[in-house]
Structure 1
Amino acid sequence: MKVIVSTLNAKFIHTSLALRYLKAFCEKDFDVDIVEYTIKDPAMNIVSDLYQKAPDVLGFSCYIWNIEETIHIIRMIKKIMPNLLIVLGGPEVSYDTEYWMNRIPEVDFIVMGEGEETLHQLLQEISTTQKYHFVYGLAYRKGEEVVIMPGRPKLKLDDIPSPHRFIEDIPNLPNRVVYFETSRGCPFSCQFCLSSIEVGVRYFDMERTKRDILYLIDSGAKLIKFVDRTFNIKRDYAMEMFEFLIANHRGTVFQFEITADIMRPEVLDYLAENAPPGIFRFEIGVQSTNDATNELVQRRQNFSKLTRTVTKVKQSGKIDQHLDLIAGLPEEDYQSFRKTFNDVFELGPEELQLGFLKMLRGTGMRNDAHKYGYVYMDHAPYEILGNDILPFTDLIRIKRVEDVLEKYWNAHRMDHTVSYLIANEFDSAFDFFQEFGDYWEERGWQKIGHQLEDLFTRLRDFLVHRQTKQMPIIEGLMKLDYFLGHKYRPRKIWWDFTLDKQEQSAYLRLLAERPELADGGFSQLRISEKDLHKHVMLEVLPFDLQGYLQNGIMQMSSPQLLIVYFPPDAQQPASFYTMPLQQAAVM
């Protein structure tokens, strides 16, 4: 009996941890192959590939991001392979299971909840007596009837073989995200989250975990993302893992979901002192800073302690932080969400993810949707369309905030420019992204693509339209950001150079002859005039750039020459220097 377990990942770089657990648990008794696709792959290509592999049993791992595409695949392949047994599993079909069995008659079985032991027992029954009523955690068909068996007890995690030891995975490890879990379950009860349904937290053996991580590092993994819902719930466990990873990282990057308001000060001190820069990334779910909202969704959160943690981590300069918000939670109207956004943006996260409430099957929020007048999508991802205090009109405005936030902050294309605008030209961060988002929509730019320079010209158009006063300063910062967004000396710019070619050549000659005129260690680069022409770009700024970057005070000054150096090795970032133009009199 040939068994294929498959899924449609959101992106090519993603890998499915669930499929690897299933194969690891079942392969001692069955021929199980993992086959992964993406939601962007053409359905005909997927069906053709599966057909040629000729499975007897085909299982799909289902999530809100792939369920509709998966259904399309199932219906196609069942037409051409009517005797193929189809098994579904995963969080999207583990709740309202009878609904899924009725909606997709092509499906023969659904594995509910943790699937390793259930799938193994199901395969045993398929290949022998077919007495499916012995399989706990299973939904199956008995004639026209759908039978849903009781759930099964939780597995002892150490009874599950490692999902990280498949030889066929090794060639792809350097180019994919490796998902890893040290525990299952969540100690919290947030009513919008599926993790709140499982009570308690179970841990894998520490030594096994360390062995698996070392194996992945030795095999070339570059990014390991821990999927534990709260990595730092046990201080001693988290500390031991942090110490181990710091000692053994060898350049691998590790990403964790942490609960910031319970992070102990001694852990923060240890990380600030010992964590190598860039090795750790923290994902922190804030969701809302509205106390009434958090209470309604049973979310315990101390924002002052969260602020302490985020601030201390940021001050260390060692760890990038990704903070999450959810728009549309109960009792959070437009103005309340504006406050939440500004509260969190003020913490200065490297990335701020703005999501929208989804009414996931099985959650308390979906069960209580009527209490708050929620309207939401019938099919996945079940995103809300409004409620009693946040109408659709406000939701689509916040969608515009999300769009420009992604383009202009999370992508880090204009950090200097956006920071200046928020601090000096707009009432708040939210107001900048909202006004710009509204303007973007009015111009119809959401309907057309864009190149990097388009992002700069569109921001300039918006600022000119609103008659922003300090355009020379803003355009100077935009030019700096544009240069720094390139690995190589850009061939295309979106403005007219202040200096003509003759003037630029004269300044490059001066820099070759007297490099000490430039600040910030430019002379230590020891660049010849020939290489300056290849790897340096010049522009004129009307303000003291270094003074602004050091103390945050913008002072108009005699014009300065901005010098941006692009190293021949593109692995190194561009660097910039300045010198006063009067020092650089070359004409």
Structure 2
Amino acid sequence: MNGKFLLVAVNAKYIHSNPGIYSLKACSGELSDEVELAEYTINLELDLALRDIYRRRPAVLGLSCYIWNIRYIKELTEVLGRVCPGLPVWLGGPEVSYCAAEILERMPEVTGVMRGEGEIVFKHVLSYYAAGAPALEDIPGITWREPGGRIVENLPERPARLDEVPFLYEGAEKFENKIIYYESSRGCPFSCSYCLSSVDRQVRFKSLPVVFRELQRLLDQKVKQVKFVDRTFNCRKSHGLEIWKYLKEHDNGVTNFHFEIAADLIGEEELDVISGMRPGLIQLETGVQSTNPRSLKEIRRNADFSRISQVTERIRKFGNTHQHLDLIAGLPYEDYESFGRSFNDVYRLRPDQLQLGFLKVLRGSHMYDMAESYGLVYRPEPPYEVLYTRWLSYEDVLKLKAVEEMVEVYYNSGQFSNTMEYLLRFFPSAFSMYEALARYYEDKGLLGMGHTRLKRYEILSDFAILLNLGKRVACSSVLMYDIYLRENAKSLPGFRMEQGQYWERVRAFFRQEEKERRYLKGREGLSAKQMMYDAHVEVFPVDMELLLKEGVCQEEECAVLFDYSIRDPLHRNAGARRIALPQ
């Protein structure tokens, strides 16, 4: 082989890493020196990726294909076929595994596709180019093009044994400021019709000693975040429980671990372990998808929402774990009104993030096979997102898209939490509130635009005024409270109450703290002026404690100290407490 086998990943963002190509190289054994890796992002100008690949002079090229990068890869492959004619090009990944023959028909530059799991398949393909054996016709798990152009699809390869897959993340410096992806299992025991993981229902697990050894290496490296890619992390109770126990006992105080779970499978033992964890040690993602029983049955998702609710509320009360709940719009038997009910059901659980996603019809899934019977029309190109169904019109989808934008900005950002909680008191439901806000954005021509955070606060204020949502002084006060929870803002909105009359008393407060350290402890040696850099006092015209807890607007002077040296580890909000200003 005159050159390297170059494995290329095109990630969605710079902070992402691609475990696929690292796993292939790690499994190359004695041929690993023949493998070179390259990572780009979909935001990189195509000519720059093309130039880099061309100047590396690879002997063979492998590209990792996913729903988010396939367009980029198709164009890159086509251009490479012109500047590097004769270069063998192999594709792999979920976006090409279930339509390999069709991909080869549509992409004449491609030599072959490695289907499904790639570790064993890739080693054979690499050996073919490096040593001439085995022959392509003898390699299971590939679809390839013979020299005459005939497309051949070989039998599938056996699944990899996870304990035999080497540790991927040698050398922490390569992954600094990137998310680490880790798997302790493959496959999923459930059969959700929209998901490709349901194709492999035989779940395989890494043995716990191997998992502990590898996790400890990540803990020792003090990486920032590790995302488990296990499709349902806690599908085997003993496996998930022991890993959580290990992380709790070996917590380095820095690393955060993300898990996709089935919340209804969590029992008292797991809850007991989670309750004692450091705030921010783990975060949990649960795919609720819908609370419509008919929809859940149709998509073959057996989930107990009452149990999900109980577990989510218990964990929320622990105050130490970020929770992310998902919904999918466009499922069979879910119309606009039904989706609104599902939204309200999940919103009542107060997750830290509520993901409002739209159905993607993936090749290889049961949903793909059922699309016609559901009247399911979707985009023909990635991400194959739903346009409309028998139950949900395109107009409904557009309205839900606007609601999604509002939820992302005003709920999931965490920057408006108290304001949205206050405004919710004036609507029959959370869904109706976000509907109204979306209509306001559309009427004002504000949808789809990049607004500053300050502008978002001003828009929300105007929205509340227009709809006459409570007293204006209450709304402006809770908005200012949210602003200062996030930062000691210098650019301030026009609705802020004039503070000039309180300046001398605020300065007197900080001079007093310089001497007594009653509220701002741990700042010995700092002057009053220095303390004002990471603390702020705002005087509100209403009792903020009463307003935030009960929604009651009682007008009185209320001074609040925002301390930016003390932040909530989950939401990054400043410490806030009411104080008495010197007279």
Q: Determine if the TM-score, normalized by the shorter chain, exceeds 0.5.
A: yes
Match of 1:481 in 2: 482
Residue in structure 1 matching 2:519, options 519, 522, 532? 522
1-side partners of 2:563 and 2:319: how far apart? 24
Q: What amino acid does structure 1 have at the position aligned with 2:486? A: G
Superposed CA offset, 1:255-311 (max 9, x none): 111101111122112221x21111010011100001100000100011111111111
Residue in structure 1 matching 2:558, options 548, 557, 560? 560
Match of 1:444 in 2: 445
Give the C-alpha shift of residue 531 in structure 1: 3.9
Match of 1:91 in 2: 94
Residue in structure 2 matching 1:116, options 106, 116, 119? 119
Change (3 A) 1:568 1:364: closer
1:539 matches 2:514: no
Residues 110-189 of structure 1 aligned to structure 2 (within 5 Å): 110-127=113-130, 128=132, 131-142=135-146, 143-165=148-170, 167=171, 170-189=172-191
2-side partners of 1:493 and 1:525: how far apart? 29
Contact 2:502 2:539 in 1 (8 A): no
Change (3 A) 1:130 1:575: closer
Secondary structure of 2:539's counterpart equals: strand
Match of 2:371 in 1: 369
Residue in structure 1 matching 2:416, options 407, 414, 417? 414
Contact 2:423 2:469 in 1 (8 A): no
Give the C-alpha shift of residue 78 in structure 1: 1.5
1:76 matches 2:74: no
Give the C-alpha shift of residue 529 in structure 1: 4.0
Contact 1:504 1:538 in 2 (8 A): no
Secondary structure of 1:13's counterpart equals: coil
2-side partners of 1:73 and 1:368: how far apart? 33
Secondary structure of 1:48's counterpart equals: helix
Q: What amino acid does structure 1 have at the position aligned with 2:39? A: E
Contact 1:515 1:522 in 2 (8 A): no
Deviates more, 1:107-116 or 1:540-549: 540-549
Secondary structure of 2:447's counterpart equals: helix
Secondary structure of 1:29's counterpart equals: helix
Give the C-alpha shift of residue 499 in structure 1: 3.8
Residues 422-441 of structure 1 aligned to structure 2 (within 5 Å): 422=424, 424-441=425-442
Secondary structure of 2:50's counterpart equals: helix
Match of 2:577 in 1: 577
Unaligned runs of 5+ in 1: none
> How many positions carry a matched residue from both structures?
573
Match of 1:318 in 2: 320
Q: What amino acid does structure 2 have at the position aligned with 1:522? A: Y
Change (3 A) 1:378 1:515: same
Change (3 A) 1:545 1:364: same
2-side partners of 1:103 and 1:544: how far apart? 67
Q: What amino acid does structure 2 have at the position aligned with 1:172? A: K
Match of 2:52 in 1: 49
2-side partners of 1:570 and 1:340: how far apart? 30
Match of 1:405 in 2: 407
Match of 1:266 in 2: 269
Change (3 A) 1:222 1:503: closer
Match of 2:295 in 1: 293
Match of 1:494 in 2: 493
1-side partners of 2:448 and 2:234: how far apart? 42
Residue in structure 1 matching 2:382, options 377, 380, 383? 380
Q: What amino acid does structure 1 have at the position aligned with 2:161? A: K
Change (3 A) 1:500 1:334: closer
Change (3 A) 1:129 1:524: closer
Secondary structure of 1:281's counterpart equals: strand
Superposed CA offset, 1:410-450 (max 9, x none): 1111111111111x111111111111112112222235321
The structure 1 segments of at least 4 consecutive aligned residues displaced by more than 6 Å after TM superposition are: 514-518, 568-572
1-side partners of 2:448 and 2:291: how far apart? 33
Secondary structure of 1:389's counterpart equals: coil
2-side partners of 1:285 and 1:573: how far apart? 27
Give the C-alpha shift of residue 528 in structure 1: 5.1
Change (3 A) 1:266 1:369: same
Identity of aligned residues (%): 32
Secondary structure of 2:218's counterpart equals: helix
Give the C-alpha shift of residue 502 in structure 1: 5.3
Deviates more, 1:149-158 or 1:48-57: 149-158
Change (3 A) 1:185 1:534: closer
Residue in structure 2 matching 1:254, options 253, 257, 260? 257
Give the C-alpha shift of residue 133 in structure 1: 1.2
Q: What amino acid does structure 2 have at the position aligned with 1:560? A: C
1:190 matches 2:192: yes
Secondary structure of 1:41's counterpart equals: coil
Change (3 A) 1:496 1:351: closer
Change (3 A) 1:570 1:173: farther
Give the C-alpha shift of residue 491 in structure 1: 1.7
1-side partners of 2:567 and 2:244: how far apart? 32
Contact 1:39 1:69 in 2 (8 A): yes
Q: TM-score, normalised by structure 1?
A: 0.93
Secondary structure of 1:49's counterpart equals: helix
2-side partners of 1:530 and 1:46: how far apart? 50
Superposed CA offset, 1:31-83 (max 9, x none): 11111111100100000001111101110111101101111111111111112
1-side partners of 2:202 and 2:133: how far apart? 36
2-side partners of 1:568 and 1:232: how far apart? 34
1-side partners of 2:364 and 2:166: how far apart? 29
Give the C-alpha shift of residue 366 in structure 1: 0.7
Residue in structure 1 matching 2:284, options 274, 277, 282? 282
Change (3 A) 1:500 1:194: closer
Contact 2:513 2:519 in 1 (8 A): no
Deviates more, 1:532-541 or 1:5-14: 532-541
Deviates more, 1:215-224 or 1:372-381: 215-224
Give the C-alpha shift of residue 468 in structure 1: 2.1
2-side partners of 1:35 and 1:545: how far apart? 53
2-side partners of 1:458 and 1:517: how far apart? 41
1-side partners of 2:359 and 2:103: how far apart? 22
Secondary structure of 1:401's counterpart equals: helix
Secondary structure of 1:371's counterpart equals: coil
Secondary structure of 2:380's counterpart equals: coil
Deviates more, 1:468-477 or 1:559-568: 559-568
Contact 1:542 1:559 in 2 (8 A): yes
1-side partners of 2:199 and 2:568: how far apart? 48
Change (3 A) 1:280 1:447: closer
1-side partners of 2:515 and 2:435: how far apart? 45
Unaligned runs of 5+ in 2: none
